Chains A and B, each alone.
Chain A
Amino acid sequence: QSVLTQPPSASGTPGQRVTISCSGSSSNIGSNTVNWYQQLPGTAPKLLIYSNNQRPSGVPDRFSGSKSGTSASLAISGLQSEDEADYYCAAWDDSLNGRWVFGGGTKLTVL
């Protein structure tokens, strides 16, 4: 059971907009920033969004993040076939002397 809760799967057709939710609590998302990672099949995770809504250089502006209270969301607009991947949210958790926590991951399928 992951500390952060994500839907296990999401899907969309090319060109559509999809959103992936991430729910936490006051000790993690509620008090710290949220980051998102993309893991393409058979590869290492890659940073997608940091500090709730910031994109590293090289990440297309089709990807955006937001946070409200103890929840966060990742939105992907203009869905492309190469976006098919696993997506993970993560945040620092202030409990238990501090630790990073991840969501269980959402597998995005482009239909």
Chain B
Amino acid sequence: EVQLLESGGGLVQPGGSLRLSCAASGFTFSSYAMSWVRQAPGKGLEWVSAISGSGGSTYYADSVKGRFTISRDNSKNTLYLQMNSLRAEDTAVYYCAKVEYSSSVRSLSRGYFDYWGQGTLVTVSS
């Protein structure tokens, strides 16, 4: 059974930093790209970042580029999101998600999020 368990959320002041973790189990972690998606209170879903299975390729939304860094430790089956220079508008529930592909060509353009964690709340406020 695939399980994704996020941790690391909490209250942080504007300009501060936080590192989120996502512990994965039930699948061969290194074989799959992973992603972070966030949801501000009462708002819709917003894609944040993604990373390839090897960790060699990373992708970011413009809203977080230069401030957030996605990484993974395949030996620990864990995904990370280092968040720096946090702003009030970064307040959201952050979900990690496993990426699956709809074709034999494992391209992100054919990818979708087949499993999601339960989310961890990040609140940026003074």
A residues apposed to B, CB below 8 Å: 2, 31-33, 35, 37, 39, 44-47, 50-51, 54, 56, 86, 88, 90, 92, 94, 96-105
Contact = CB atoms under 8 A, between A and B. Distances in A.
Closest 6 CB pairs of A and B: A51-B102, A100-B47, A105-B44, A35-B112, A92-B109, A50-B112
Given A45-B45, A105-B44, A96 B119 contact: no
B112 A44 contact: no
B44 A44 contact: no
- Which interface class (under 10, 10 to 19, 20 to 34, 35 or more) fits B? 20 to 34
Q: What's the dominant secondary structure at chain B's contact region?
A: strand
Contacts of B115: 47
Given A32-B109, A47-B115, A100-B47, 15 more contacts: A32-B110, A35-B112, A37-B45, A47-B112, A54-B102, A56-B114, A86-B44, A88-B44, A90-B47, A98-B108, A99-B62, A100-B108, A100-B111, A102-B44, A105-B44
Contacts of A103: 44
20 contacts: A33-B102, A33-B112, A37-B45, A37-B113, A44-B95, A44-B118, A45-B95, A45-B113, A45-B116, A50-B114, A51-B102, A88-B44, A90-B47, A90-B112, A92-B110, A100-B35, A100-B50, A102-B46, A102-B47, A104-B44
Identify which of B45, B46, B103, B109 gathers the most chain A CB atoms within 10 Å of its CB.
B45
